[in-house]
Every structure is written in C-alpha cells, then in structure tokens.
Structure 1
Amino acid sequence: MLRETYNNVDIVIIGAGISGMCAAIEYLKTHENAKLMIFEKGAGFGGTWRDNIYPGCCCDVFSNLYSFSFEQNPDWTRLYPTQDEILTYLTSVAHKHRLYKYARFNTTVDEARWNEEERIWEIHVVVNGGKDAEYGGEYTVTSNFLISGVGQLNIPKYPHITGLNSFKGKTMHSARWDWNYPLAGKKVAIIGTGATAAQIVPKVAKVASQLTVLQRTPAWVIPRHDAVIPDWRKLLIRHVQPARQWFRAESMKVRESFHEAVTQANSTKANEMRVISLSHLRKQLPDRPDLWEKFTPKYSAGCKRSVLSDDYYPTFLQDNVILETRPIERITETGILVLGEESETRFDLIIFATGFDTFDYMQPLQVFGRKGKSLSEIWNGLPRAYKGVTVEGIPNFGMLYGPNSNLTHNSLILVIEAQSRYINKLANAVLDSKARGKPLLLTPKPEVVQSYNSNLQTVLNKTSFADPNCNSWWKNSEGVITNNWPGTAVEYQNLLADIFWDDYDVEEGNGRESSVLHRRGIAQAEKVNQQTRLGNSCSLCIHTNLILKILGYLLYSVR
C-alpha cells in the first residue's frame, strides 16, 4: 500500500466518543468500503465516559434514552446508567459496527488546515508514545471532509484561586481521577457543588476521616428516584419490541415535558420544580434550617444545570462532613484558607469538581479555514455555528455537539444523531462530486450564520439560562449563552431534518457555483424516529397500546 493511499482518506473524524462514533456509524451505513479515519487521543472508544471514572460517576438521563436509537440496549441494570455500564455499552456498539479498524488511538490531532489549492484538508497528528510511536511520532493525513467529535466536555477546568499550584498535598480533577490514591482516613476537600460533586461527595464521605465541601453557589437538587431494573423487565424489553419502543417513547415524553421547567423561570413547570426541590431539601435534612438556607439557590431553576440526587443532602448529616460556604481566600502549601479565618484548614487531598473549559471547544487543536484564517480568528472569542454544526469560512467541515447545541433537559444523544445525519448529507455531496472528478466546497454563508445566531440569542436571552443572578458553563463572561439550545430535542431534530443549499456557498473545484446542488434546492436528512405513541388505527392497535401502557407503567414505576 502506497503512503498516498494509506494517509489519504475521504473523511477524518476527530474524537472517538459518542459523537465521533455516531458520525462514523452514520457514514458506514452507505459506504461499505469506507476510506475513513477516527483519531482519538485516548486509548479507546468512550470519550467522556472513558475519561470520567470518579466514584459514583453516572448519567442523569434515563438509561433507555442514553443510547442510540438504532442500538437500544435491553441490558441496562438501572433506570439511570452508571459510567461503567455506559462504557461497556459504547464499546459493544463500536465492536458491532466494526469501528476499531478505522480508529487510531493514542493519537492527537494538533492542527487541521484547509489547503485552498488542492481543495483538501491536511490533518497533522502526533502519536502519544507507546509502540505506535516507533513507526513515526507524527504524520499528516489528507481528507476531503473533516468532522469534529471533540465536543464541549473535553478539557478539565480549574478554578482561579490564589495559590492553586502551591499545595503540597494531593490534588486531582474529577475528570482525571487517580484510583491509586487511597482515600481511607484522609482529610479531603472538594471544590464544586454541581452534578459531579453531588455524585462524588456521598462516596468519599464513606471512607474519608473528614470531608469539607466548599460551596460557592448551591444547586437546585431534585429527587433522582433511581432503581434497579428487574430481570423480568429486561426480558420484556429485549424480546417485545413494541414494549421497548413504548418505554423509550414515554421516557422521551417525560423528558421533553421537563423543558419548560428549566427554560421559563415564571412557568408553572418551573414553580413545580422549585416546590419539589425545596420539599426534597427539607425532607432529607429535617430540623436543619441552617442548612436549608445554605442550600437554597437565589436564582431561577434552570439557570444552572439541576442536580438529580437521592443521597447528596443526607451526606451532610454525617459527623465527618462539613459544608463551607465562605469564599476561598487562597490555597496554601498545606490546605485552604477561607475568608474570615486566620489560619488554613489542613487537607491531605483537594478534589476539583469544577467541570470543563466549555468556551474554546476544539482547543488546543488549531483549525485553519479559507485564506489561512483560524477558527479562533473567525470566532474572535464568541463561538458560533450554523445550526450548531457548520462554521463560516471553513469549508467541508462539520461539528458535533458544537455551539448552542447542548440540552439541559434531555439526552444529548438525540442531538448528536440529528447532527450526524445532517453532516453526513453534506459529506456525501462532497464525495459524490469528487467521484465525478469535480471537487466541491460547501461553506455556510456568513450572513446566514449571523442571522441564525442573532435570532438564537434573542430567544436565549428570554430563557432561565440568561438569569443574571448566576453564572454557568453555558454563558461567557459577557453573559452570552454560547452552549445551550433553547428549544426541545424534537425541535432541534426537526431543525436539522432538511439541508437548504441556498444557505451555503457552493463551489466546484474550478471556483464556479455548482448547478447540481442548486437544482436540488433541499436535501432531506433521515429523521430520528422518536415516536411518542403507538398507532391507534385499529382495534388490535388500541388494545396493544393499552397493554403496553400497563406494562410501561410497571417498567417505569414498580420498585
């Protein structure tokens, strides 16, 4: 095999998490002999579910929704999946769809540059040690289309605290957990009180001699109501397809109905959520009005991501657990000094449950589009994309889980599937044209991108996400919401169901507009099937629907 063949492919996908996997599977549906490469800096498939292995790590979306619609998993053991189960599921999907032969692990893409003359992408990669590095530590691959599956939750974020690097004890970020460090008998501090911290705290409190939780802002916490799925339910879901479809559809309806609660601060649903949360707080911390006050947020429900937990609050009734709400003044060599104290509290370990850098997206990867202009220059500090997937000035390129495509109420996989189908429609157009000997360039028109994002921000500014009383990883320091989608999952899927070619600058390799695409007008991407009810067009269907509703109630409610 010649080098030109080995390192010259049709599509390069960066990232082997859920996004990269979904894009690859979508492409392979119609390309059996695919010229495809998936680059992953880690050692396997799984993305964030391979990186995050901290104690208690789990998902806050129903397990039957946190799976691909085309690969539903009948073997989930709980209503909410744990990290190890999700990773097992993703690994099995990668094997089933034979993704491993396209993957190059322990390989970092540090630069992707559009070659204007050749009309191709040049992707420079670095091999991260090990045996593979012996064949060459770095090399360049060319492709006709580039897909980013890097996502938003990739680079751990550390807080800006004076003396952060002076601590002589052990530190670890939740996304880089060190299981070799023994927690038993240690004095531990955890900075952060979001969803990740709520999962870690109950586990660490069981073994640490002392655990101090340093809270800057409390979260709205609602009951999780997690439960084991009995074997008989799993058998039913595995062997009765209508039951499996019904259960997923009903779960979808439940999640979509939650949308109003987290986006409209003055809505009935949002008020119901506040009542549920405050009732949950008082029920789990009886006779502790001091903690009620500290745990009650002063911002709209939905301004930050809500926490689902059944065991977070009760942990603070343990004698070895302390809630510290005073601001951190600095970190010292031996511990943490809070405002109002003369000396620091000593700790053996400081845990940072402080999330990810969500505003740079593809950093530290550098992407250069037309005329050598970088993605950073195009964005100029304000990430934006057309429908969350394509970027002005960067041809033959698509992003998964890009700007303003994050959901706060439902499964992100619902978004990723829609994006994968949309992007693959673009890629197929490029590759079909290439097969005819005419390189094709597709780039969203700047005015279209501007109009789309302007309208989007108008809508977002009316949501709970824009509440000035809280900061979140969804909006930047200027208050611009760069991460979230304001609508429902179904609305986003519908948004990406069609490709309007007039929204794109369409050029053939000779610089002329492509008449082929313009004659098409609109291309339809296959819609994600999230049917919310079975058909009732006949007596049998009606009775089947009734039976499944009863079975679904048992599946969903019986403990």
Structure 2
Amino acid sequence: MAKPPAFTNTRVLIIGGGISGMAMAIELITRYSIREIVIIEKSGGFGGTWRDNVYPGAACDVFSSLYSYSFAQKFDFTRTLPGQEEILTYLTDVAQEYKLYQHARFNSSVRKMEWNDDQLKWYTTVTIDGGKDSEYSTSYKVVSDYVISAIGQLCKPKGFDIPGLAGFEGRVMHTARWDRGLDLTGKKVAIVGTGATSAQVVPEIAPITKHLTVCQRNPGFVIPRHDNELSPWQRWLRANVPLVRKRIRAENMNFRELFHQAVTQADSKYADLMRQMNNGLLEKQLSDRPDLQEKVKPRYNPGCKRTVITNDYYPTLKRPNVDLETSDIEKLTKNGIKFQGIDEVRDIDVLILATGFDTFNFLGDLHIVGREGQTLDQIWPNGVAKALKGIAIPEIPNFGMLYGPNTNLSHNSLILVIEAQARCLAAMINRVFTVRRNAGNGTLAVWPKKEVTERHWEKLQDRLQNTSFSDPACSSWWKRHDGIIVNNWPGTAIDYQRLLEEIKWQDFDATGSAKSAFNSEVSKSGSQTVPRVMEEAWLSRSSLLAIVLGGLAAGVTLHRMWRLQCM
C-alpha cells in the first residue's frame, strides 16, 4: 500500500512561487533528488512579480535572451525586451515541465516560523487566504527540516502617506495591485512616482484619460529602450542553432556586465555614455519644451537611482491632457489633490501609486523565532538586514534566502544571481541531509557565525559607499535614510556568482547529534565547491571569426591534399 502524502511534514519548505522559489525547487529535485518539498505561494499560481504586476505596459528591461533560466532557456520570445504576459507564460510552462504544481499550495501565506531547539525542526504557520481550501481550514502548521525564503525584495507594495487619503472618495490603487476592471477612459487621473513603472504606465494610459497629472518627486535617468520585435527567422535561428543561441546570450551577458561601470562609477566612460544618452533624448524629444527639460533633467550621478529605459515617456509629457507636477503633494480632498504652493485643487477620479515596494523590510511581515527564542528584530537591530553572502542569517538555523540583502543588481539579469543562490543553498541542504544520514539519521542544524557575517557586511558597505549608489544627491529604494545600502550588490553578476562558488563550512556553527560528524568533515575538507554556470563570452567577435575562417581554410587545404592523393 502506497504511503499517503505528508501534508504537514516535509524536508524543505519554500516560501514563494516566483522565479526564486521555482529555481530552488528545481535545483533540489533535479540535482539532489530531494522531492519532499512544499512550496507556499500567496497568489493563485506560479510567477511571482510577473503574476502580480499586470499594469498597462508592464515589461522587462533586461534582454529576453538573458531572461530565462540557463537550464530552461526560452528561445521564442517575440521581442528583444519581453513583456509581462510572455514572461508569465514562460514561468508557468517551466513549472509544468518540472512538475512543481504537485508541490505547491496556492492562496496561502506564511506569517510565523518558530524554530524548535529540542527537535531541531521548523514549525511554520500557514494561513489559507482564499480559494476552496479556506472553506475547511483557515491555518495549519508545517513541520520541516529546512526553510527557504523566496519572498524577494519586491513583494510588498509601498503606500504613500498623504494627508486626507481616508477622506478621498475616488479610487486608489497601487500599480502592483492593478484593478483590471477599472476603466480609465475619460477619467481624471493622478499618478505618484516617475520611476521605471510609472514610465511604462504613463504612455499607456495618457491617450485614454481626460487628464493625467504625473507627480514627480525626483527625476530619473532616462535612456532609450532598444526594443524590437524578433522576426520568425530570428526566433527559428535561436531555437534551432545552439551555437548561435549561446553566442547571443553570451554577448548580451558581456554587454550587461560592462554596463555595471555606468551605474557604479560616476567618472567612468560608461557613466558618461549614460549622460550622453539621457541628454540626447532630452534634446531630441523635448527640444520645444525647455520647461520640461529643466524639470526632468537628473541632478545626480547615473546609477544613484534605477535607470528608466523608455522611448515614449518624455513625448507623453507633452500631450495637452498631461501635466508634470514637481511640487510636493500637500493633501487629498474629497475629490481632488492639492499641491504645496498652489491654491488650486486639481480634481481627480483615480489616484495611482507607482511608489514601488517596501524594500528595507526583508522577509515581509514574516515573524521569525530562531535559536533560543531570538526574533529577527533582535538579530537585525534597527532593521539593518545582514546575511552571509545574502543567503544565510546568524542564529536562524537551517534557513536560507534567495534575493536577500545586498544581492540586487541594477545592471544585469537577476536570474543570474538567483540561479547561483539556488545552487549554493541546494548544496548546503544536501550536505546537511547527507551528514545526518551518514550519522545514523541523526539531527543537525547549521547557521552562519555572527562575526563572519559582520565582516562580510562591513566589507560590502565599504565598497558600496564608493559607488554611485551612495550619491547623496538622490534617494532610492536600495538606500536607507541613514545612508546604509541594504539591497544592492557592489560588483558584477559574475563577481557574485564566484562568491558563491565556495561554501566555507568553517564559517558556520552547528548543533545536533550529528555535530561531531559534521565537524569531522569540516576539519578534513574545510570547504565545498559549487561550480557556477559560466555564460559569458570568452572570445571576441573578431577572434571567433578568425577561428571560423581558419577552420574553413584548414578544411579546404585538407580537402585539396586528399584529392591530390587520390589522383
């Protein structure tokens, strides 16, 4: 008789079903055959941010050739820069291919995790937020050996504290919670924010609104969006000629890595190129509106804020039904919005918040109790998030996180980071399980040493303070009010991948009946290698062409010699 599935006991619990959670589950299943996995996802399906963000114009600003897993590359994206729907379709297809649905529990969220020091187990409270499952239960607990957070940095929409908001009788919605049933045709709309999201929304909704007020707090660096439709023959070539596909991905990888200098080194030639691109757009698209040029021109170094990539944002600001307002919002009235220094109250029907996410509150609203009853608030005093290599937290045993503190990229595809993290964490989990099994199915829990994590964090901050991220001339979603940068990684994607290639087990503490076996292994080997996925191009185009031509020439010579011998 088959053993019934254990709905409340598992080896690994993964919180989040987006790109990170999916990568983690696939790595455990395919590389280590660890299948006792439960994935808790608050929404109704896989996809994460690409399922949540369905606002008009939602799209990626990373090349489509780089925006898929290395182990499950999508060859038939229809555009150079993919849209939300295509990305979501891709992710759901991957979930289906790797049979992740059998591990998933949707419309569920995790509010509390408690570590049991006696059993060396996690007791995680799962709340059922909707669907038919909520008809028979509102919550239950899952007992697991390991917990992985794949919540990410961009999951909790950030509100905007505006006086009078409670009395406003119009509609208010955040771009990450877009109401598809709301028709903006003929409406008077105000949108707060002029970042990457707003730059996608504004050109889409401006033509249908009666009037659109764009509320700018800080202008962004805007550069052209080099997006093109990929023709059928281009898609065919990528799908059917592996060498071409690999070369395209590698060249795009190299280009994006070079872009790192533009957003980190204010005096680099690439930063100057960013300035030139922005100035070029201003002169080309707003040459007849010097008033708008003055308002939208950034006054800080490239990279201080997230770069905005668009071709149609500036032209939209010139529409007769669009106003760019740079004065601070004073308050909302019953049916309008008032700006400081302006007597007139502007009537609005809808207020859209393109205000981003609560990026400093890592792990969302999750209440974590670690070793000896220590809470995350105690481990992270003053809310400063610190994690060894961005994936493990002191005093939180058998726990890992993807897209954690100081792992965000502002120049390349995050999938490159996420895959490296999933590889590293899966190797750590497998080592813990292997040591336990070899020690007669004993118990084992590991966590990073506090002093090692502190040194790692201090080195990061020293590097980050010498980048454009720390420019005091602007604020961003990765820099706190005290200047501490808790989100961004200071190096390239390859730098981060190399950081995770080695697991130094001497940097970890351990407990449990298998502790002596673990310490014995650490004393023998000291570290563990986790090979990274190498996708960058090693040869330039000219070198590659020389090799190809040389190979052809050699082939012709050999053919001639063979013919002479046969005569």
TM over 0.5: yes
Corresponding residue for residue 481 of structure 1: 485
Corresponding residue for residue 110 of structure 1: 111
Once residues 230 and 109 of structure 1 are traced to their aligned partners in structure 2, the CA distance between those partners, rounded to angstroms, is 44
Q: Does 1:521 find its partner at 2:523?
A: no
Q: CA contact under 8 A between 1:430 and 1:439: conserved in structure 2?
A: no
**How big is each residue's C-alpha offset from its partner over 1:435-458, in whole Å with a ceiling of 9 and x where there is no partner?**
231222211111100000001100
**How big is each residue's C-alpha offset from its partner over 1:67-126, in whole Å with a ceiling of 9 and x where there is no partner?**
111111111000001000000000001011110000010111111111110011111101
Corresponding residue for residue 500 of structure 1: 504
Corresponding residue for residue 288 of structure 1: 289
Return the offset for 1:343: 3.3
Corresponding residue for residue 553 of structure 1: none
Corresponding residue for residue 384 of structure 2: 382
Return the offset for 1:510: 6.2
Once residues 546 and 218 of structure 1 are traced to their aligned partners in structure 2, the CA distance between those partners, rounded to angstroms, is 52
Return the offset for 1:206: 1.3
The one of 475, 484, 507 aligned to 1:471 = 475
Corresponding residue for residue 532 of structure 1: 537
**How big is each residue's C-alpha offset from its partner over 1:368-387, in whole Å with a ceiling of 9 and x where there is no partner?**
11011111221111011111
Q: CA contact under 8 A between 2:224 and 2:309: conserved in structure 1?
A: yes
Return the offset for 1:33: 6.0
Once residues 167 and 432 of structure 2 are traced to their aligned partners in structure 1, the CA distance between those partners, rounded to angstroms, is 52
Over 3 Å counting, the alpha-carbon distance change for 1:312 and 1:518 in structure 2 is same
Over 3 Å counting, the alpha-carbon distance change for 1:490 and 1:539 in structure 2 is closer
Once residues 223 and 116 of structure 1 are traced to their aligned partners in structure 2, the CA distance between those partners, rounded to angstroms, is 54
Q: Does 1:18 find its partner at 2:34?
A: no
The one of 378, 390, 393 aligned to 1:391 = 393
Q: Does 1:408 find its partner at 2:413?
A: no
Return the offset for 1:544: 7.6
- List runs of 5+ in structure 2 lacking aligned partners: 553-567
Return the offset for 1:32: 3.8
Which amino acid in 2 is paired with 1:335? G
Give secondary structure in 2 for the equivalent of 1:172.
Answer: strand
Once residues 229 and 5 of structure 2 are traced to their aligned partners in structure 1, the CA distance between those partners, rounded to angstroms, is 53
Q: After superposing the two structures, state which structure 1 stretch, 520-529 or 228-237, moved more.
A: 520-529
The structure 1 segments of at least 4 consecutive aligned residues displaced by more than 6 Å after TM superposition are 1-4, 538-541, 544-547
Return the offset for 1:433: 2.4
Once residues 294 and 433 of structure 1 are traced to their aligned partners in structure 2, the CA distance between those partners, rounded to angstroms, is 61
Return the offset for 1:4: 9.1
Matches within 5 A, 1:130-141: 130-141=131-142
**How big is each residue's C-alpha offset from its partner over 1:502-540, in whole Å with a ceiling of 9 and x where there is no partner?**
11113343665621233221111131121313699x999
Give secondary structure in 2 for the equivalent of 1:5.
Answer: coil
**How big is each residue's C-alpha offset from its partner over 1:137-164, in whole Å with a ceiling of 9 and x where there is no partner?**
2111111111000000000001222222
Give secondary structure in 1 for the equivalent of 2:31.
Answer: coil
Corresponding residue for residue 556 of structure 2: none
Over 3 Å counting, the alpha-carbon distance change for 1:129 and 1:445 in structure 2 is same
Which amino acid in 2 is paired with 1:532? A
Q: After superposing the two structures, state which structure 1 stretch, 48-57 or 120-129, moved more.
A: 120-129
Over 3 Å counting, the alpha-carbon distance change for 1:543 and 1:370 in structure 2 is same
Return the offset for 1:31: 4.1
% of aligned pairs identical?
48
Which amino acid in 2 is paired with 1:478? D
What do you get for the CA RMSD once the two structures are aligned?
A: 1.9
**How big is each residue's C-alpha offset from its partner over 1:459-486, in whole Å with a ceiling of 9 and x where there is no partner?**
0000000011111110111110000000
Return the offset for 1:355: 0.2
Q: After superposing the two structures, state which structure 1 stretch, 330-339 or 52-61, moved more.
A: 330-339
Matches within 5 A, 1:293-304: 293-304=294-305
Corresponding residue for residue 359 of structure 2: 358
Once residues 546 and 36 of structure 1 are traced to their aligned partners in structure 2, the CA distance between those partners, rounded to angstroms, is 49
Corresponding residue for residue 456 of structure 2: 452
**How big is each residue's C-alpha offset from its partner over 1:315-353, in whole Å with a ceiling of 9 and x where there is no partner?**
012111111111111112211100112231010101000
Corresponding residue for residue 548 of structure 2: 543
Corresponding residue for residue 552 of structure 1: none
Once residues 149 and 499 of structure 2 are traced to their aligned partners in structure 1, the CA distance between those partners, rounded to angstroms, is 20
Over 3 Å counting, the alpha-carbon distance change for 1:546 and 1:505 in structure 2 is farther
Over 3 Å counting, the alpha-carbon distance change for 1:546 and 1:529 in structure 2 is farther
Matches within 5 A, 1:49-128: 49-128=50-129
Over 3 Å counting, the alpha-carbon distance change for 1:282 and 1:540 in structure 2 is closer
Q: CA contact under 8 A between 1:157 and 1:355: conserved in structure 2?
A: yes
Q: CA contact under 8 A between 1:433 and 1:439: conserved in structure 2?
A: no
Give secondary structure in 1 for the equivalent of 2:66.
Answer: coil
Once residues 164 and 499 of structure 2 are traced to their aligned partners in structure 1, the CA distance between those partners, rounded to angstroms, is 47
Which amino acid in 2 is paired with 1:480? I
Q: After superposing the two structures, state which structure 1 stretch, 3-12 or 381-390, moved more.
A: 3-12
Corresponding residue for residue 425 of structure 1: 427
Corresponding residue for residue 158 of structure 2: 157
Corresponding residue for residue 554 of structure 1: none
Once residues 290 and 466 of structure 1 are traced to their aligned partners in structure 2, the CA distance between those partners, rounded to angstroms, is 29
**How big is each residue's C-alpha offset from its partner over 1:401-426, in whole Å with a ceiling of 9 and x where there is no partner?**
00000000000000000000111111
Once residues 545 and 236 of structure 1 are traced to their aligned partners in structure 2, the CA distance between those partners, rounded to angstroms, is 24
Give secondary structure in 2 for the equivalent of 1:113.
Answer: strand
Once residues 352 and 73 of structure 1 are traced to their aligned partners in structure 2, the CA distance between those partners, rounded to angstroms, is 33
Give secondary structure in 2 for the equivalent of 1:140.
Answer: strand
Once residues 472 and 432 of structure 2 are traced to their aligned partners in structure 1, the CA distance between those partners, rounded to angstroms, is 44
Once residues 551 and 321 of structure 2 are traced to their aligned partners in structure 1, the CA distance between those partners, rounded to angstroms, is 51
Give secondary structure in 2 for the equivalent of 1:30.
Answer: helix
Q: Does 1:142 find its partner at 2:146?
A: no
Over 3 Å counting, the alpha-carbon distance change for 1:498 and 1:29 in structure 2 is same
Return the offset for 1:41: 0.7
Corresponding residue for residue 565 of structure 2: none
Q: After superposing the two structures, state which structure 1 stretch, 466-475 or 368-377, moved more.
A: 368-377
Return the offset for 1:5: 3.4
Over 3 Å counting, the alpha-carbon distance change for 1:191 and 1:241 in structure 2 is same
Over 3 Å counting, the alpha-carbon distance change for 1:546 and 1:253 in structure 2 is farther
Corresponding residue for residue 462 of structure 1: 466
Q: Does 1:245 find its partner at 2:246?
A: yes
Give secondary structure in 1 for the equivalent of 2:274.
Answer: helix
Over 3 Å counting, the alpha-carbon distance change for 1:396 and 1:544 in structure 2 is farther
**How big is each residue's C-alpha offset from its partner over 1:201-243, in whole Å with a ceiling of 9 and x where there is no partner?**
0001010011110101100000012110000000000000000
Once residues 52 and 138 of structure 1 are traced to their aligned partners in structure 2, the CA distance between those partners, rounded to angstroms, is 27
Corresponding residue for residue 557 of structure 1: none
Once residues 71 and 215 of structure 2 are traced to their aligned partners in structure 1, the CA distance between those partners, rounded to angstroms, is 42
Give secondary structure in 2 for the equivalent of 1:109.
Answer: strand
Over 3 Å counting, the alpha-carbon distance change for 1:248 and 1:510 in structure 2 is closer
Q: CA contact under 8 A between 2:436 and 2:514: conserved in structure 1?
A: no
Over 3 Å counting, the alpha-carbon distance change for 1:301 and 1:531 in structure 2 is closer
Once residues 455 and 355 of structure 2 are traced to their aligned partners in structure 1, the CA distance between those partners, rounded to angstroms, is 34
Return the offset for 1:131: 1.4
Corresponding residue for residue 325 of structure 1: 326
Once residues 100 and 17 of structure 1 are traced to their aligned partners in structure 2, the CA distance between those partners, rounded to angstroms, is 13
Once residues 531 and 153 of structure 2 are traced to their aligned partners in structure 1, the CA distance between those partners, rounded to angstroms, is 25
Once residues 414 and 509 of structure 2 are traced to their aligned partners in structure 1, the CA distance between those partners, rounded to angstroms, is 29
Which amino acid in 2 is paired with 1:466? S
Which amino acid in 2 is paired with 1:385? A
Which amino acid in 2 is paired with 1:514? N
Over 3 Å counting, the alpha-carbon distance change for 1:32 and 1:510 in structure 2 is closer
Give secondary structure in 2 for the equivalent of 1:438.
Answer: coil
